[in-house]
């Protein structure tokens, strides 16, 4: 199969969808890889390294997009929709429930789109996990920075010092992002509370962190109380594939002290904080509402691309090899994890939560992939 790797064009998206090691894995399986010139530079991978690994370097994005399968990190932006065509396989983060225009473009162009974030093994999301680990760890580091006075914050050191109180951090959602945020916040010495809907998850967190972490059942009253007292709130809830529920209301934000900070990591699925009404960028990451700093960058790991590209491609490349070796239909039929990743095919929406949130009929993946495989 011919596989294309475009250079990412989203604001400060410095990751790339393959490393030279990934090129070797795919070409050892008999596939041809085209990498757009300089696509890996920001992650520290040169054109020469890709060439040495067996890739062809292409000057023009359109020549890369002409491949049978395109692997990307972030969802295509509107300027890239012109490359869509029937039968194109797109393997990337898509977050379609929060991207209706992209869902429309993919279905209208009959692209077979496989979303990293909905590939599922058991209840785990192996292609989301590495970036959730990165974003979870970053969320506290970023929150701590914006709590500093020169960045507009209230001037709190999360760990405090002897004789001065520690800062309070509330993390809503105790999955991968939440657990990684808790590790860093606890490590800094903050007073940390984690909120989740799953009692079993709260038990596991209690076993891991013991008395260094407060656990709270997710309900509007508990969230309101925890948010009001917090210096830093982190949004880390996910209902796979679906638009995120608005769990932190505008009134809760109004109850926070001026200079407090909220980091809505779940913004890629629409965000859990009602006052987060826009996605921000690494260039201009925050805005202030009711005196509270809001951070809502949807590609947080793009700021630490060396770590993120390696962690992401460690997870994605084995799946890319399966798609390239077997074709998307056989790969999905033989691997239920990949089948869960198929979001659109042959103009149909094949992921239930996306169809429900965006008002499409849901069509089973195998039915849609059979249509996609039929000659025109």
Ligand X SMILES: NC(=O)C1=CN([C@@H]2O[C@H](COP(=O)(O)OP(=O)(O)OC[C@H]3O[C@@H](n4cnc5c(N)ncnc54)[C@H](O)[C@@H]3O)[C@@H](O)[C@H]2O)C=CC1
Binding stretches for ligand PYR (CB under 6 A)? 74, 93, 117, 128, 131, 268, 299, 301
The residue ranges that bind ligand X (CB under 6 A) are 117, 128, 131-132, 135, 172-178, 195-198, 201, 218, 236-239, 245, 247, 265-269, 298-301
Q: Would you say 184 or 372 has its CB closer to ligand PYR?
A: 184
Q: Would you say 58 or 120 has its CB closer to ligand X?
A: 120
* Gap between the Cα atoms of 94 and 304, Å rounded: 20
Strands 69-71, 2-5: pairing is parallel
Q: Would you say 223 or 297 has its CB closer to ligand PYR?
A: 297
Distance of CA 344 to the CA centre of its chain: 18
* Gap between the Cα atoms of 26 and 30, Å rounded: 7
Q: Would you say 55 or 342 has its CB closer to ligand X?
A: 342
Q: 147 contacts which partner out of ligand X, ligand PYR, none, CB within 5 to 8 A by kind? A: none
* Gap between the Cα atoms of 137 and 131, Å rounded: 10
Q: Catalytic one among 95, 196, 231, 264?
A: 95
Q: Would you say 283 or 361 has its CB closer to ligand X?
A: 283
Distance of CA 246 to the CA centre of its chain: 18
| Alpha-carbon separation of residue 248 from 1, 114, 259, 262, 334 (angstroms) | 46, 31, 17, 10, 41
CA nearest to 188, candidates 175, 169, 172, 170: 169
Q: Catalytic one among 191, 231, 264, 268?
A: 268
Q: Would you say 133 or 231 has its CB closer to ligand X?
A: 133
Q: 14 contacts which partner out of ligand X, ligand PYR, none, CB within 5 to 8 A by kind? A: none
3-state secondary structure of 2: strand
Q: For 269-329, what is the HEC assignment?
A: HCCCECCCCCCEECCECEEEECCEEEECECCHHHHCHHHHHHHHHHHHHHHHHHHHHHCHH
Number of other CB atoms surrounding residue 120 within 10 Å: 19
When CB distances to ligand X are compared, the closest residue is 175
Query: Shortest approach of ligand PYR to residue 357 CB, angstroms?
Result: 17
* Gap between the Cα atoms of 62 and 79, Å rounded: 11
CA atoms within 13 A on the CB side of 102: 22
* Gap between the Cα atoms of 187 and 189, Å rounded: 5
Query: Shortest approach of ligand X to residue 263 CB, angstroms?
Result: 9
Q: Would you say 6 or 173 has its CB closer to ligand X?
A: 173
Query: Shortest approach of ligand PYR to residue 263 CB, angstroms?
Result: 14
Do 259 and 152 contact (CB within 8 A), yes or no?
yes
Query: Shortest approach of ligand PYR to residue 302 CB, angstroms?
Result: 6
Q: 69 contacts which partner out of ligand X, ligand PYR, none, CB within 5 to 8 A by kind? A: none
264 is catalytic: no
Using a CB cutoff of 8 Å and minimum separation of 24, what contacts does 90-94 make?
90/114, 91/17, 91/116, 91/316, 91/319, 91/320, 91/323, 92/17, 92/116, 93/117, 93/131, 93/268, 94/343
Query: Shortest approach of ligand PYR to residue 268 CB, angstroms?
Result: 4
362 is catalytic: no
Query: Shortest approach of ligand X to residue 281 CB, angstroms?
Result: 11
Query: Shortest approach of ligand PYR to residue 353 CB, angstroms?
Result: 16
Q: 182 contacts which partner out of ligand X, ligand PYR, none, CB within 5 to 8 A by kind? A: none
The set of catalytic residues is 95, 268
């Amino acid at each position: 199969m011919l596989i294309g790797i475009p250079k990412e064009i989203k604001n400060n998206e410095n990751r790339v969808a393959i490393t030279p090691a990934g090129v070797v894995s795919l070409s050892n399986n008999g596939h041809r890889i085209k990498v757009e010139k300089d696509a890996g530079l920001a992650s520290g991978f040169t054109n020469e390294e890709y060439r040495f690994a067996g890739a062809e370097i292409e000057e023009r994005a359109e020549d890369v997009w002409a491949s049978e399968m395109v692997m990307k990190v972030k969802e295509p932006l509107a300027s890239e929709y012109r490359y869509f065509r029937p039968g194109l396989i797109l393997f990337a983060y898509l977050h379609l429930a929060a991207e209706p225009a992209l869902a429309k473009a993919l279905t209208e162009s009959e692209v077979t789109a496989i979303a990293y974030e909905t590939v599922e093994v058991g209840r785990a999301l192996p292609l989301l996990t590495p970036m959730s680990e990165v974003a979870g760890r970053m969320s506290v580091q970023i929150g701590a920075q914006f709590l500093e006075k020169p960045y507009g914050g209230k001037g709190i050191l999360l760990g405090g010092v002897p004789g001065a109180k520690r800062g309070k951090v509330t993390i809503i959602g105790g999955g991968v992002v939440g657990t990684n945020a808790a590790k860093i916040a606890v490590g800094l010495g903050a007073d940390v509370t984690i909120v989740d809907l799953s009692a079993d998850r709260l038990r596991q967190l209690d076993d891991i962190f013991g008395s260094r972490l407060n656990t709270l059942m997710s309900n509007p009253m508990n969230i309101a109380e925890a948010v009001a007292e917090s210096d830093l709130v982190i949004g880390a809830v996910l209902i796979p594939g679906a638009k995120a529920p608005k769990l932190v209301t505008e009134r809760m934000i109004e109850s926070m002290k001026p200079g407090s900070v909220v980091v809505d990591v779940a913004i890629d699925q629409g965000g859990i904080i009602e006052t987060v009404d826009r996605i921000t960028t690494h260039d201009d990451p925050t805005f202030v509402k009711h005196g509270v700093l809001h951070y809502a960058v949807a590609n947080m790991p793009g700021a630490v691309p060396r770590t993120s590209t390696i962690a992401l491609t460690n997870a994605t490349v084995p799946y890319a090899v399966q798609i390239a070796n077997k074709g998307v239909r056989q790969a999905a039929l033989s691997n239920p994890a990949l089948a869960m990743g198929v979001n659109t095919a042959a103009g149909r929406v094949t992921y239930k939560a996306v169809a429900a949130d965006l008002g499409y009929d849901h069509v089973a993946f195998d039915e849609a992939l059979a249509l996609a495989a039929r000659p025109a």
